[in-house]
Amino acid sequence: MIIRYDPAAEFFTSERCFINELFNTAADESLSIAQARIAPGVTTRWHTLIATTERYVILAGEGLIEIGELPAQLMTALDVAIIPPGCKQRITNSGTIDLIFLAICTPRFMPKVYVEMAHSE
């Protein structure tokens, strides 16, 4: 199976980023892959995923990621962050171009697992 990239499928979320679901289907509950795009200077909202591990694979740009109580860490191309289930997270585009990364979730991402956290500014 080949799934072709469709740039028109990108949508803006309340988390303050653009998402393009590259692979997310009930036919494969084990995994989802999305491309995320964040404009320069934008920070996503604090959130957590219930019972879902998320991995960020940076493709372009740079960002400061915050996971749990760890200090912010700079991420650049091909760096990978692993975010355990239930762990609060957010990322800031600290560069001058769009921050683009893959968000790989196991099991697959479902809107019901996303929890926005209070004081997310």
* Domains of the chain with bracketed CATH: 14-110 (2.60.120.10)
What is the predicted pLDDT for the residue at 118?
78
What is the predicted pLDDT for the residue at 119?
62
Residues 62/74, Cβ–Cβ less than 8 Å: yes
Question: pTM for this one?
Answer: 0.94
- In percent, the amount of the chain with pLDDT more than 70 equals 98
Q: State in Å, rounded, how far the first CA of the chain is from the last one.
A: 41
Average pLDDT over all residues of the chain? 96
